Amino acid sequence: MAMNEDGTPRGTAFDGVPEEGTVREEGTVPEEETLPCGRELARVWEQAETDEPDPHTADCPHCAEALRALRALEGVVARARVDEPEERQWDTAALAGRVMDVVRLELRPGRTLALGGDDEDAWIVEAAAARTFRAAVDALPGVRAGSCRVETTPVNTATASAPPAGRLPRGPARVRIEVQVGLSWNLHLVADEVRARIVEAADGELGLRIAAVDVVVADLLDEDEADLLDAADRLDEADRRDEGGPR
């Protein structure tokens, strides 16, 4: 994995910390500890963890005592896990609300695309157009939209007036969309369907002229998963209706 996280370059999470033996707590537990029978404690515990059979350990009272200590600890740990609230009992609504408050101040709207005619000063951000296109594609059974990029290509760069700063020049839009597709689809057919949905949505829901739609099948879904995702789509749709947005 090439990801950094938290701005920490990979593999340095423990850097800057003195190694064992020099740190406050770590020095108090010996690096190696040998039981009176000559076995190393670490080795005895490791064998227990991997269920590796060992005739010595079975009969040795010292090893038995060491294992009893480990088992007793594991017993309390198991109990601690039982005492934890179950996953679904965590209240995540407030947390999600706080996260999204910050996120909405740091939106990434993408490029700004022109709507309507040359004399109109109307625009839509790429993220909003992409959301509309994804929703239109998701409505196809067994199809889910992933990446969706939209850009405009000026019809005639010589005559087109320069767009305001940070905005794409006027002109029909080119859409590139990646889809996950259920196995029962014919891939040519699904590309045509996706294209049709996007052209329809661009005209009917946005008012954006389309020059071309590139459809990339990024992944195939087995039928069970495709069904589940369609069911999830329907739930999302129901949620949206429940929220009372006009349709």
> For another protein, which is the closer residue by CB, 11 or 158?
11
> For another protein, which is the closer residue by CB, 60 or 114?
114
> For another protein, which is the closer residue by CB, 81 or 188?
81
Among residue numbers 64 through 93, which ones bind another protein (CB under 8 A)?
68-70, 72-74, 76-81, 83-84, 87-88, 90, 92
Among residue numbers 135 through 164, which ones bind another protein (CB under 8 A)?
135, 144-149, 164
Q: Residue 45 and residue 60: Cα distance in Å, rounded?
A: 14
Beta pairing partners, 205: none
Measured between its terminal Cα atoms, the distance across the chain in Å is 43
Among 56, 59, 61, 100, binds another protein (CB under 8 A): 100
Q: Any contact of residue 2 with another protein (CB under 8 A)? A: yes
Q: How far is the CB of 228 from another protein (least distance, A)?
A: 6
Instruction: Fill in the per-residue mask, 12 to 51: x = in contact with another protein (CB under 8 A), - = not in contact.
Output: xxx--x--x--xxxxxxx---x-------xx--xx-xx-x
> For another protein, which is the closer residue by CB, 14 or 158?
14
Question: What is the DSSP secondary structure assignment for residue 184, as one 8-state letter?
Answer: T
HEC secondary structure over 20-60: CCCCCCHHHCCCCCECCCCCEHHHHHHHHHHCCCCHHHHHC
Q: How far is the CB of 99 from another protein (least distance, A)?
A: 4
The label of the residue with tokens 């080795």 reads 43
Q: Which stretch binds another protein (CB under 8 A): 54-62, 115-123, 153-161, 183-191?
A: 115-123
Q: How far is the CB of 187 from another protein (least distance, A)?
A: 17
Q: Residue 143 and residue 185: Cα distance in Å, rounded?
A: 9
Helix (H, G, I), strand (E, B) or coil at 161: coil
10: left (phi over 0), alpha (psi -120 to 50) or beta: beta
Is-contact 173 133, C-beta < 8 A? no
Among 35, 37, 62, 123, binds another protein (CB under 8 A): 123
Q: 158: how many CB neighbours lie within 10 A of its CB?
A: 5
Q: What angle do CA 186, 191, 195 make, to 5 degrees?
A: 150
The label of the residue with tokens 């006009």 reads 246
Instruction: Fill in the per-residue mask, 188 to 217: x = in contact with another protein (CB under 8 A), - = not in contact.
Output: ----------------xxxxx---------
